Structure 1
Amino acid sequence: MNVIALVLAAGSSVRFGADKRRATLADGRSLLAHSVARARAVFDDVRVVLRAGEQGEDFGLPADCRVIVSPDAASGMGHSLAVGAGALGDSQAQAVAILLGDMPWIESATLRRLADASSASNIVLPRHAGQQGHPVIFGRNFWPALGLLAGDEGARAVVQAQRDRCVVVEVEDAGVLLDVDTPQGVM
């Protein structure tokens, strides 16, 4: 598998009311540490985008987990995604899986299946019960477009502009839809 993982975790957790990345799950790990561990179980290279002044240790991430700092994280997910995509230049991967740091329940088998469907020239979208989910995997050909993103929209514009290059993978894994927006969602 020649896919790198980029975990976006530079958001401000406004709806959560506190820093949800630090919220503790039942196994004692932080929400972010759990999400990163899920990615590391499948992908050899996992990078995490954090806000300026933060370090992986702040969230219980492994010491060898590469952190990318998003200085303009407050301006929206697009900025963080652009910084993350810009930091992939040293990777030989053919695709990048964009994971969200608040989605800790995606199954390893699902991540493998999505990665297996990826190539340098396509965008892989998981769909469960008729709804598009995460992660989205972008072939290397689309990395320059990701590097131009700004604002709070994320990569939706890239996906919409490249509909003919999208591959939808139907999955039985509800984890591709489940994120944590409130403290009750951590339970």
Structure 2
Amino acid sequence: MSPPIGVLLAAGSSSRFGANKLLQPMAGGESMGVMAARHLLTAVPRGVAVVRPNDTELSAALSEMGYRVVENQQLASGMGESLAMAVTASLDAGGWLVALGDMPWIKPQTIAQVAERLEQGASIVAPMHKGERGHPVGFATRWGERLVDLSGDHGAKQLLIDYPGDLELLPVDDRGILLDVDFPEQLSEAGFESISGNEPPG
């Protein structure tokens, strides 16, 4: 069976941040989106990234990393459309590991654990930290048709609600699975800016 493919959802508007947050420099100098993308590629051999139209700087950086970059021209349709586009572009994959471009602090080893469980036969798998489910979420190939049909702004969340018996929660010691960035002040709270490239804030 083919290995799962990484899906990086990076087509958000950054409206609450006030600028393209995925280009925000992080510790070590690389941008938020590139940091998240690099961590994802530690666990999978290839990736598909969905970006906004004309997001040329991010697109070029992700392409250079080896991602297949897809532009979402229907941004009003939300995250579900972006995920559907990514899956449509990778139907030969042995599953999908879905990550978000504004969650740069997930440890690479956590992502690798999720990918491993997917390859071992998990139907849907997600990491959990102190009882709270986080990202990335892995989907086996059996969900391909349902993922392609997604739309709206909730991504695959409805699948997790409709099929709780298929969801495997993987306990991890990684607070980064819960940390996304919506506002600039989140980058300075709790020492975010001073952390190393692979570690979430303490």
State the shift of 1:4 in Å.
0.8
1:34-84 deviation per Cα after TM superposition (whole angstroms, max 9, x unaligned): 111111222110111012233465563352321012111232111111111
SS of structure 2 residue aligned to 1:117: helix
Distance 1:57 1:50, change over 3 A: closer
Give the Cα–Cα distance (whole angstroms) in 2 for the partners of residues 57 and 175 of structure 1. Answer: 22
Q: Which runs of 5+ in 2 are unaligned?
A: 188-192, 194-202
1:102-140 deviation per Cα after TM superposition (whole angstroms, max 9, x unaligned): 111111111111111115660002110111100000111
Which residues in structure 2 correspond to 1:68-79 (within 5 Å)? Answer: 68-79=70-81
More helix by share: 2
Stretches (4+) displaced over 4 A: 56-59
Letter in structure 2 aligned against 1:16: F
User: Root-mean-square deviation (CA), in Å?
Assistant: 1.8
Q: Is 2:42 aligned against 1:41?
A: yes
- With normalisation by structure 1, the TM-score equals 0.91
Q: Find the counterpart in structure 2 of residue 104 from structure 1.
A: 104
Aligned residues with identical type, % of pairs: 35
Q: Find the counterpart in structure 1 of residue 200 from structure 2.
A: none
Report if aligned partners of 1:10, 1:70 keep a CA contact under 8 Å in 2: yes
Letter in structure 2 aligned against 1:100: L
Give the Cα–Cα distance (whole angstroms) in 2 for the partners of residues 20 and 59 of structure 1. Answer: 16
Distance 1:78 1:58, change over 3 A: closer
Q: Which runs of 5+ in 1 are unaligned?
A: none
Letter in structure 2 aligned against 1:25: M
- With normalisation by structure 2, the TM-score equals 0.85
Letter in structure 1 aligned against 2:97: A
Report if aligned partners of 2:5, 2:96 keep a CA contact under 8 Å in 1: yes
Report if aligned partners of 2:44, 2:115 keep a CA contact under 8 Å in 1: no
Letter in structure 1 aligned against 2:100: L
Q: Find the counterpart in structure 1 of residue 87 from structure 2.
A: 85
Report if aligned partners of 2:124, 2:140 keep a CA contact under 8 Å in 1: yes
Q: Find the counterpart in structure 2 of residue 67 from structure 1.
A: 69
Give the Cα–Cα distance (whole angstroms) in 2 for the partners of residues 11 and 50 of structure 1. Answer: 8
Letter in structure 2 aligned against 1:79: E
Distance 1:12 1:181, change over 3 A: same
Q: Find the counterpart in structure 2 of residue 18 from structure 1.
A: 19
Report if aligned partners of 2:42, 2:112 keep a CA contact under 8 Å in 1: no
